[in-house]
Amino acid sequence: MKKTAFIILSVIVLNSFFLQTALAQEKSIAQKVDSVLKLMTLDEKVGQLNQYNDDWTATGPMTIDTNKVRQIQSGKVGALLNCMGTERTRKWQKVAMQSRLKIPLIFGQDVIHGYKTTFPIPLAEACSWDLDAIELSARVSATEASASGINWTFAPMVDIARDPRWGRIMEGAGEDPCLASKIAYARVKGFQGQKLGETNSVMACAKHFAAYGAAIGGRDYNSVDMSEKLLWETYLPPFKAAVDADVATFMDSFNDINGVPSTGNKYLQRDILKGKWEFGGFVVSDWGSIGEMINHGTVKNGYEAAYSAITAGCDMDMESRSYTNNLAQLIKDGKVPVALVDDAVKRILTKKFELGLFDDPFRFCDPEREQRELNNPDHPVAARDVARKSIVLLKNQNHLLPLSKNTRTIAFIGPLVKAVNQNKGFWDVDVPGIDSSYVVSQWDGLQHKISNKVKLLYAKGCSIDGDNKDGFTEAVNVAKQADVVILSIGERRDMTGEAKSRSNINIPGVQEDLLKALLATGKPIVVLINAGRPLVFNYTADNAPAILYTWWLGSEAGNAIADVLFGDYNPSAKLPVTFPLSVGQIPIYYAHFNTGRPALNDNNRFYTSSYNDLSIYPKFEFGYGLSYTTFQYSNLQMSKKKMYSNDQIKVSVTITNTGKYDGEEIVQLYLHDVVGSVARPVEELKDFRKVKLAAGQSETIKFIIDLEKLSFYNQQLQWVAEPGKFDLLIGASSRDIRLKDSFELVE
């Protein structure tokens, strides 16, 4: 052995001996972290704050590193993203184990709605209002991802979104803080499992902090201008719910908020998140967002960008290299106290300890487990269940649905019938070396469902976009031969997602013309609308007798749709977001204020808050969704009509399944604070229950009203409940209020 090689080896062995001895002596993770920190050079500390992309799947400009191996060997990288599979993650972890202190890497990935098994897009899942199903979806995703080398997902996205032009509306839970907070909590629990450190748990990441979903004009990455009240009352609650669920990490956001980029926003990160909420995990920037502060015009160069981000509380730099290039210098120049860097390093090391990576850096890299979990037969079963719970029945004239399995001839028409990958939605994961092509197309799903006595005919009709109508004649001929037509139309999956904002959210191309041509045959038609966002489709909504909004349902799309079409699953989903009648109404959401001149209906336009040329009503409201059965709401009871602040009101309501099918109903409880020191929304969702009832069965549902549900932020931003009258509204949607009462909060 050459002399220099011998010296290097001895130093490595010695350092690792020191590290092992130091760790063996300490008991708590905090003590272990301190021991490691003491051994670290400034460069190694800065290295922990640095996250690199593994040279593919970029969602922004990236730097291809020819010297990544060297960088990792010298401790200059703390985490990788977009590095998947046990083979590849093991390869990079081995390189990290050649570094002086052998600090393991974390592997992060956008596991947004599934890993190999793809679940419905998050907005679709939110339609289920089924917190157990949503948690299970995240659990399965975590089980697969963690078996495949990943220990950190950049999910859930908990941004409230009230603008369907914004492409990322697909990634969240809709417009309402109450529903979105419960879903945020369930998703974090699902990803993180029992606790970090279990081999099937991954760190979750609540993103994008904050208010990214309120981009002006629905244009991705655009500025946000927002009052503190709106921020606290509507946009922050899902983030707080994620903290309550013990989320391990946060991601800040691309946007500026009131002129201050979130990445350099001390108020958000240090004061609220790490201060008021006592968040103990770490914050990662969004892709390149530290460097992008130069474009925002709030810093001059990378040096100032790094200063701004670390001071504001952003602990890890995703891909901008601002920390690597500037932090050490900032410390040497006395601009940044080393304590700030130490705090960020400690937060990151703590998570590495909690994940068990110091005990075994390869614990997520077992190829046998990877094979087993990526082929786990339970996962498609879960995906099918969540998928069918996500399908919203928007219209069902004359009980056209469910279809009879004895229908003689069915025409299945449209550009999405035989599509495979489209069903996966925007954020599917392509696992290298793993066959992730398993998706049940709608055509296959239907074929599995029907017997060979049923004749199934197909015509594409047209493409998703473009104006070619050449296929119409064939489609019409096929329709004429059928007893019933199913038409599958919608967006392409890459029309909604990151950087996929659109000003025109109509059903693209000539697809609605195809529907018109098919309707002229006089055949009964069921329309499936495949999309990532609420679309505008008034012609379809007004003319098709039956409509299922199927979103993007993932690997089991075809089976789930067939289950619903033929009544093996009775649709129960309800919209978590308002569907506008026209883009001109956006932003439109149910929890608006009354204003001083409310338009009480569309005939009431004389100097009221209305449009001269457009209805005030959405096409489909928040909370809307039909079932094959009907539910009656009765017997609203309240334990008292006057409530003191230390009190509660018990509310009960009886729900009866009055139809022919077993089914599930999502019972929604709204409140309206009649007079407040500031205006209060006309109604606000405060709670809900999903109840399963056999045909003819009744059940009494119970809710509790406490002070928390009556509270809001007053002008001084204090969280208060003000004495006075409250309306209680129980309904099947935000407009379909079935039972009403009121009560009083007294001092």
Q: How many residues bind ligand NOJ (CB under 6 A)?
A: 8
- What is the longest distance spanned by two Cα atoms in the chain? 92
The helix or strand, by DSSP H or E, that contains position 720, with its residue range, turns out to be: strand 719-720
Residue 262 lies near ligand NOJ (rule: CB under 6 A): no
637: how many CB neighbours lie within 10 A of its CB? 13
Give whichever of 206 and 434 is closer to ligand NOJ, judged by the CB atom: 206
Residue 286 lies near ligand NOJ (rule: CB under 6 A): yes
Of 197, 268, 257, the C-alpha closest to 222 is 257
Give whichever of 424 and 738 is closer to ligand NOJ, judged by the CB atom: 424
Please state the closest distance from residue 243 (CB atom) to ligand NOJ, in A.
18
Give whichever of 287 and 589 is closer to ligand NOJ, judged by the CB atom: 287
Kindly identify the residues of this chain, within the stretch 57-86, that bind ligand NOJ according to CB under 6 A: 59, 81
Please state the closest distance from residue 333 (CB atom) to ligand NOJ, in A.
31
Given 286, 317, 673, 687, the catalytic residue: 286
Site pattern 99..128 for ligand NOJ (x: CB under 6 A): -----------x------------------
Token readout for 566 is 């033929």
Of 537, 531, 466, 461, the C-alpha closest to 495 is 531
25: how many CB neighbours lie within 10 A of its CB? 10
Q: Cα–Cα distance between 645 and 268 in angstroms, integer?
A: 31
Please state the closest distance from residue 254 (CB atom) to ligand NOJ, in A.
6
Please state the closest distance from residue 427 (CB atom) to ligand NOJ, in A.
9
Give whichever of 62 and 638 is closer to ligand NOJ, judged by the CB atom: 62
Give whichever of 116 and 207 is closer to ligand NOJ, judged by the CB atom: 207
The helix or strand, by DSSP H or E, that contains position 716, with its residue range, turns out to be: none
Given a contact cutoff of 8 angstroms between Cβ atoms, the answer to whether 290 and 275 are in contact is no
Q: Cα–Cα distance between 200 and 104 in angstroms, integer?
A: 18
Give whichever of 256 and 286 is closer to ligand NOJ, judged by the CB atom: 286
Kindly identify the residues of this chain, within the stretch 564-603, that bind ligand NOJ according to CB under 6 A: none
* Backbone φ, ψ for residue 637 (5° rounding): -130, 145
Site pattern 483..512 for ligand NOJ (x: CB under 6 A): ---------------x--------------
Out of 287, 443, 589, 631, the only residue in the binding site for ligand NOJ (CB under 6 A) is: 287
Given a contact cutoff of 8 angstroms between Cβ atoms, the answer to whether 277 and 247 are in contact is no
* Backbone φ, ψ for residue 203 (5° rounding): -70, 135
Of 454, 458, 490, 456, the C-alpha closest to 474 is 458
**DSSP H helical ranges for 622-715:** 707-710
Please give the radius of gyration of the chain, using alpha carbons only, rounded to the nearest integer: 27
Please state the closest distance from residue 241 (CB atom) to ligand NOJ, in A.
18
* Backbone φ, ψ for residue 62 (5° rounding): -130, 155
Token readout for 683 is 């109604």
Give whichever of 296 and 574 is closer to ligand NOJ, judged by the CB atom: 296
Given a contact cutoff of 8 angstroms between Cβ atoms, the answer to whether 150 and 109 are in contact is yes
Residue 521 lies near ligand NOJ (rule: CB under 6 A): no
Kindly provide the b/e burial profile for residues 319-349, where b requires at least 16 CB atoms within 10 angstroms of the residue's own CB.
Answer: bbbbbbbbbbebbeeebbeeebbeebbbbbb
Kindly identify the residues of this chain, within the stretch 171-210, that bind ligand NOJ according to CB under 6 A: 207
Please state the closest distance from residue 59 (CB atom) to ligand NOJ, in A.
4
Please state the closest distance from residue 480 (CB atom) to ligand NOJ, in A.
47
* Backbone φ, ψ for residue 657 (5° rounding): -80, 105
Give whichever of 180 and 336 is closer to ligand NOJ, judged by the CB atom: 180
Give whichever of 110 and 683 is closer to ligand NOJ, judged by the CB atom: 110
Please state the closest distance from residue 206 (CB atom) to ligand NOJ, in A.
11
Given a contact cutoff of 8 angstroms between Cβ atoms, the answer to whether 211 and 255 are in contact is yes
Q: Cα–Cα distance between 231 and 257 in angstroms, integer?
A: 10
Strands 205-209 and 249-252, by their bridges, are parallel
Please state the closest distance from residue 62 (CB atom) to ligand NOJ, in A.
10
Please state the closest distance from residue 58 (CB atom) to ligand NOJ, in A.
8
Please state the closest distance from residue 625 (CB atom) to ligand NOJ, in A.
28
For residue 626, give the 3-state DSSP assignment: strand
54 counts as catalytic = no
Token readout for 320 is 């901008």
Please state the closest distance from residue 317 (CB atom) to ligand NOJ, in A.
13
438: how many CB neighbours lie within 10 A of its CB? 14
Site pattern 524..563 for ligand NOJ (x: CB under 6 A): ----------------------------------------
Give whichever of 205 and 685 is closer to ligand NOJ, judged by the CB atom: 205
Give whichever of 286 and 385 is closer to ligand NOJ, judged by the CB atom: 286
Given a contact cutoff of 8 angstroms between Cβ atoms, the answer to whether 678 and 715 are in contact is yes
Give whichever of 206 and 671 is closer to ligand NOJ, judged by the CB atom: 206
DSSP 308-331: HHHHHT--BEES--HHHHHHHHHH
Of 531, 504, 512, the C-alpha closest to 469 is 512
Query: For residue 209, what are the CA distances in angstroms to 192, 250, 264, 269, 498?
Result: 19, 7, 11, 8, 16
Sole residue written with tokens 């879960």: 382
Residue 683 lies near ligand NOJ (rule: CB under 6 A): no
Kindly identify the residues of this chain, within the stretch 694-713, that bind ligand NOJ according to CB under 6 A: none
Is cis: bond before 208, omega within 30 of 0? yes
Please state the closest distance from residue 207 (CB atom) to ligand NOJ, in A.
6
Of 273, 270, 311, the C-alpha closest to 290 is 311
Token readout for 198 is 């279990």
Q: Cα–Cα distance between 39 and 48 in angstroms, integer?
A: 13
Give whichever of 6 and 56 is closer to ligand NOJ, judged by the CB atom: 56
Whose CB is nearest to ligand NOJ? 154
**DSSP H helical ranges for 257-401:** 266, 293-296, 302-312, 322-332, 338-354, 367-374, 378-390
Residue 154 lies near ligand NOJ (rule: CB under 6 A): yes
Q: Cα–Cα distance between 505 and 529 in angstroms, integer?
A: 13
Q: Which residues are catalytic?
A: 286
Where along the sequence are the contacts to ligand NOJ (CB under 6 A)? Answer: 59, 81, 110, 154, 207, 286-287, 498
